[in-house]
Structure formats: structure tokens, C-alpha cells
């Protein structure tokens, strides 16, 4: 596994990873009509890194740097359990200034458990803005 900065040539591979993980990340939401456009539009203005396994993109993370926020963290289903998510998350946190936040839908319990295991702190739950989600803060330094 290796982590590197995103390159424009990674667009299609990242769109495939996004499509693969979409049902778990956004339960009940329909799949994007155009995954490449959904990826490009969803990560506009963010810093991106990809994880490669055997020379293929198997995951990505996006970070909004102005107010450090991990917007997307996706790992393809076949690559899960290998530490890619943790490595991508650590890379984004290392690039940020200050504490990083992220949100995770409560109807995605596997992802919530992942952040709990990684030491992220549950800051608050939001129930009045679309699907209920928890806002996590990165572990204290």
C-alpha cells in the first residue's frame, strides 16, 4: 500500500471507489448518475490523497483545509481491513492545521465504529439537518 497525492489521471478510479462505497456511506440515497462528476464536484477545492494497492487506486480522502474537515473517506470494499482508511485519515490529519472534524451518518454504524476505534471524539449529534449524523473531532494531540 502507498499513499500519494491525487492526480487528475485518478478521476475514473476514484469515481469507481466512490460508487462502490456510496450505498454504505449514504444509505437509502440513490447512486449518482455520473460518479466522475459527483467525485469532481464533491471534492472541488479540497486536498486529495489516494491509497494504492498493487498499483491500483483502492481508496481516497479529501480535506477541506480552510476549516480542517475531512469531507470524503472511501476505501473500496475489496481493500477494506488492510489499514488503508486509517492511513488515509492520518495523512489528511497530518496535512491540516489544528483539530480536524468530520461527520458520519448514524445509519452507517460501521464507519462510526471505525472512527471510534481510531480515537476520534464524538463532539455532537445533529438530527435537524437531513439524516442524523455525528460530528467527530480528531484525537487530541
CA distance 69 to 129: 18
Does residue 87 sit within a domain? Answer: yes
Q: Is the pLDDT of residue 141 over 70?
A: no
CATH number for the domain spanning 29: value is: 3.40.630.30
Does residue 137 sit within a domain? Answer: no
Question: Residue 113's pLDDT is what?
Answer: 96
Where in the sequence is the domain holding 78, given as residue range(s)? 2-98
- The total number of structural domains in the chain stands at 1
Question: Residue 66's pLDDT is what?
Answer: 93
Higher pLDDT, 45 or 23: 45
Q: Is the pLDDT of residue 65 over 80?
A: yes
pTM: 0.93
Does residue 127 sit within a domain? Answer: no
Does residue 27 sit within a domain? Answer: yes
Q: CA of 20: how far to CAs of 123, 126, 132, in Å? A: 28, 26, 22
CA distance 28 to 23: 7
Does residue 138 sit within a domain? Answer: no
Does residue 10 sit within a domain? Answer: yes
Does residue 124 sit within a domain? Answer: no
| pLDDT tens, position by position, 74-106 | 999 888 889 999 999 999 999 999 999 999 999
- For range 44-65, the mean pLDDT: 97
Q: Is the pLDDT of residue 140 over 80?
A: no
Question: Residue 53's pLDDT is what?
Answer: 95
State what percent of residues in the chain have pLDDT above 90. Answer: 82
Does residue 111 sit within a domain? Answer: no
| pLDDT tens, position by position, 18-38 | 999 998 888 888 888 999 999
CA distance 136 to 127: 15
Pick from 110, 111, 109, 136: nearest CA to 123: 136
Amino acid at each position: 500500500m502507498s499513499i500519494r497525492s491525487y492526480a487528475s489521471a485518478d478521476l475514473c478510479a476514484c469515481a469507481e471507489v466512490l460508487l462502490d462505497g456510496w450505498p454504505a456511506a449514504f444509505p437509502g440515497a440513490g447512486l449518482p448518475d455520473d460518479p466522475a462528476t459527483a467525485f469532481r464536484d464533491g471534492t472541488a477545492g479540497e486536498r486529495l490523497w489516494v491509497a494504492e494497492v498493487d498499483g491500483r487506486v483502492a481508496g481516497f480522502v479529501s480535506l477541506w483545509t480552510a476549516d480542517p474537515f475531512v469531507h470524503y473517506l472511501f476505501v473500496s470494499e475489496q481493500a477494506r481491513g488492510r489499514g488503508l482508511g486509517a492511513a488515509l485519515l492520518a495523512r489528511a490529519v497530518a496535512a491540516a492545521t489544528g483539530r480536524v472534524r468530520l461527520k458520519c451518518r448514524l445509519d452507517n454504524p460501521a464507519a462510526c465504529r471505525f472512527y471510534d476505534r481510531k480515537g476520534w471524539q464524538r463532539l455532537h449529534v445533529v438530527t435537524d439537518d437531513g439524516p442524523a449524523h455525528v460530528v467527530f473531532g480528531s484525537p487530541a494531540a
